[in-house]
Amino acid sequence: MKVLILNCDFDKNLETNLAQLIYSHLIRFSINDVIIRNVFENQFPDEEELKASAGIIITGSWASVYENLEWINKLSALIRLIDKLEIPTLGSCFGYQIIAQALGGNVQASGKFEEGFKSVKLTKEGMNDSLFDSFPQQFKVYQSHGDIVNVLPKNSTVFAKSANSYEAYKIKNFFAVQFHPEILPKTAIKMAIRDGKDINKILDSVDNSYKLPLNVYLNFISTIS
């Protein structure tokens, strides 16, 4: 089974690059055919490669989806092609936002930066969907974003919310989460040290062994297997 990762993260450190983190988790799930395309460097898959993929994952990024950049515009067009091809796709953070924008929603700056492990709550629809199989109704996830989806695409189903915004939705063959399931406490600590942030504030009482959000990827893979 081939999984295609569309990498939007500029981070050159393999220990904290989002595509590399996702790749390492997928390998642990025994998914051995994983391809990374650095779309921010205009490394875009063609239609043949898309059709050969059982599923696609779109990562987070330091960019904002409303920036008028060539690679962002091309990625939006690619998402609309993926929609036509009906390929199961999971987007996180920037991926969550660009899926919404490409399919008719709207993304805006929230006016503040949300970072660290924060609580989200599943809706009834989220509780009943396989993407969140084995999850409690409320749980903590790693957040790192300054933009939010303020208008979801038409016919979206909201799966989760937080005090600040929507946190997960589904539309057609797309699943999208605002948070970063791939960032576990160990990696969050490395990022906090890198950025000179308060580690205790970032972790916010999350135990270092906390791994629940990874099940988003495991459950996604289960749906496309």
Stated pTM of the model: 0.96
Is residue 201 classed exposed, middle or buried when 0-12, 13-18 and 19+ CB atoms within 10 A define those classes?
A: exposed
Task: Read off the DSSP letter of residue 214.
Answer: G
Amino acid in position 200: N
Q: Per-residue b/e over 85-99, b at no fewer than 16 CB within 10 Å?
A: eebbbbbbbbbbbbb
Question: What integer pLDDT is reported at residue 10 of this predicted model?
Answer: 96
Q: Mean pLDDT for each consecutive 10-residue tract of the chain (225 residues)?
A: 97 95 95 96 98 98 97 98 98 98 95 91 98 97 95 97 94 98 96 91 88 97 92
Q: 2-224 adopts what CATH topology?
A: Rossmann fold (3.40.50)
* DSSP-derived pairing of the beta strands 106-122 and 157-161: antiparallel
Q: Which of 187, 83, 179, 189 is nearest to 132 (CA)?
A: 179
- Domain locations along the chain: 2-224
Residues known to be catalytic = 93, 180, 182
